[in-house]
Amino acid sequence: MYYLSAITKLHVMKFFKYLLVSLFTFMLVIACGGEEKKKEEPKKVKIGVQKEIKKKDDNVANVVLTANDSMQYNKKEIRVKSGQKVKLTLRHIGRMDINEMGHNFILLKLNVNADEFVAKAATEQANGYIPKDSPDIIAHTKLIGGGEITVIEFDAPEPGVYQFLCSFPAHYATMHGKFIVE
């Protein structure tokens, strides 16, 4: 009797062990499957939203400007149309610190002397080298360091050829370009 019950117990335990293992596997499969489904759903939603934005935003000029650790923008010329809303993204693709290699984007009004402007801006370190209440600026981003990104929106001014630049000390020489409004 003792042996018999011991064998039965052993069988019962084995049975439960298998049951537990298969139950665990089953739940794992469900859990993983569920996660995959969850991950897929937001993607679908995102694609839908992006398409909608593209359709709506014909009046928006999306400009992406990058700046690196070698005092360079990736663009010498930016073209937009008068009446458009300009959404400008400035990305610092370098790694250097904001105090060593900070960059900004400043769009100057027509007929502003850029040399004089940057000389004045260089004294405004506390304000990210952006002169406070300056009458010379149409739009500007803040100063950013390596790896950072900043976005501004403004209305494109009247048609004309404007200048944009970075006002971090000594950057103007290589970091400037034409902002052309057609």
Residues in the interface with Cu ion (CB under 5 A) total 5
164 binds Cu ion per the rule CB under 5 A: no
176 binds Cu ion per the rule CB under 5 A: no
Rounded distance, CA 9 to CA 55, Å?
70
171 binds Cu ion per the rule CB under 5 A: yes
Only one of the segments 19-27, 88-96, 154-162, 173-181 lies at the binding site for Cu ion (rule: CB under 5 A); that segment is: 173-181
Which residue from 166, 172, 179, 181 is in contact with Cu ion, where contact means CB under 5 A?
A: 166
Pick from 156, 155, 154, 153: nearest CA to 180: 156
Phi and psi at residue 97, in whole multiples of 5°?
-65, 150
Strands 106-108 vs 137-140: parallel, antiparallel or unpaired: antiparallel
Look at the block and give the residue holding tokens 């976005």.
151
Q: Which is nearer to Cu ion, 61 or 122 (CB)?
A: 122
Encoded one letter per residue, x for contact with Cu ion by CB under 5 A and - for no contact, window 98-127 reads -----x------------------------
Q: Report the b/e string of 93-125 with b at 16+ CB within 10 A.
A: ebebebeebbbbbbbbeeebebeebbeebbeee
Q: Which is nearer to Cu ion, 6 or 64 (CB)?
A: 64
Q: Which residues bind Cu ion (CB under 5 A)?
A: 103, 166, 168, 171, 175
